[in-house]
Amino acid sequence: MPDQFTFTDPTTRYRTDGFPEQSQDAPGLAQDLAPRADHGETSYRGTGRLTGRKALVTGADSGIGRAAAIAFAREGADVVLNYLPSEQSDAEQVAALIEEAGRKAVLAPSDIAEESAARALVHTAVDELGGLDIVANVAGRQTYVDDLADVTSEQFDRTFKTNVYALFWIVQEALPHLPAGATIINTSSIQAYQPSPGLVDYATTKAAINTMSKALAQQLAPKGIRVNVVAPGPFWTPLQASGGQPTEALPEFGQETPLGRAGQPAELGPAYVFLASPESSYVSGETLNVNGGMPTP
């Protein structure tokens, strides 16, 4: 596959004909996706933009978090990888790639929907890396349900705990350890702007992440800590094949975008790197939409 610097037509850079119908038990594994997603394993080339940095990435085993972790490491950062215990095999693959890049990888499995686990994760990062200056909150829960009557309170609560509460717990716990120059990168979605009818709870959490991040950015700016958001569109990850989309929708997944295809996680790695690096030193409170051209407010 071409690396991120190769001149290509974005409409044909990756698969344009949707994906085969398939399903996995949540949360899903990258190694079981057909076809496999590109996380930048062979395509991302670093240029030293994060040399010596210390990063915590949630949801780092697959999908967007995996792409961010690989990109951070190849730019020179050590990385703590958070994921659910059932995703251990995927996470070990990411750790091997980080170590191949000459950086330290720390495996930190835990369910951040539990407050104690989310807060403990920060201390693991600080202890293992000797500090912390990049927090990338990527982990998310998404379950497609056609009828609101079928959304259980347990699902609604779990979605908010994973997507919103965990972000609050992790950032709050991290703040005493973050120096001036540190960055927090949260993950929203096109769903915050163009919500699908079957993703009521998920879309609501993504709008909340945008708002929380803009408030935090103003609060933390005087301390020299920047807060920004990446808002992906339709990306091919295990989330989609493990309940995030109806199985019958996968053959057309992503084709509604102006570019006519779903994105690959490798196309998001550079967005996280930009917001983590000093290149974006005057950017805070911003939402960077990476969605194949779908208009947003």
CA dihedral angle for residue 211, residue 119, residue 25, residue 146, rounded to 10 degrees: -30
pTM of the model: 0.97
Report the pLDDT averaged over residues 169-194. 98
Residue 165 maps to a domain = yes
Report the alpha-carbon distance of residue 147 to residue 149 in Å, rounded.
5
Residue 232 maps to a domain = yes
Q: How many domains does the chain have?
A: 1
Of the candidates 231, 245, 237, the one whose C-alpha atom is nearest the C-alpha of residue 194 is: 231
Of the candidates 69, 114, 112, the one whose C-alpha atom is nearest the C-alpha of residue 91 is: 69
Q: Token pair for residue 238?
A: 């295990």
Residue 23 maps to a domain = no
Report the pLDDT averaged over residues 242-265. 95
Q: Three-state DSSP class for 129? A: helix
Q: Under the phi-then-psi rule, with left for phi > 0, alpha for psi from -120 to 50, and beta for the rest, what region is 266? A: alpha
Q: What is the pLDDT of residue 3?
A: 79
Report the pLDDT averaged over residues 77-103. 98
Q: Three-state DSSP class for 288? A: strand
Q: What is the pLDDT of residue 274?
A: 98
Residue 35 maps to a domain = no
Query: In the annotation, is 202 catalytic?
Result: yes
Q: Residue 111 maps to which CATH number? A: 3.40.50.720
Residue 12 maps to a domain = no
Residue 11 maps to a domain = no
**In the predicted model, is pLDDT for residue 295 greater than 80?**
yes
- The residue length of the chain stands at 297
Report the pLDDT averaged over residues 245-274. 97
Looking at 14, 165, 202, 272, which residue is catalytic? 202
Residue 26 maps to a domain = no
Domain that holds residue 155: 50-290
Q: What is the pLDDT of residue 233?
A: 98
Q: What is the pLDDT of residue 297?
A: 84
Report the alpha-carbon distance of residue 138 to residue 265 in Å, rounded.
12
**In the predicted model, is pLDDT for residue 2 greater than 80?**
no
pLDDT digits (tens, 9 = 90+) for 22-76: 999 999 999 999 999 999 999 999 999 999 999 999 999 999 999 999 999 999 9
Handedness of CA 192, 195, 199, 204 (dihedral sign): positive
CA atoms within 13 A on the CB side of 267: 23
Residue 24 maps to a domain = no
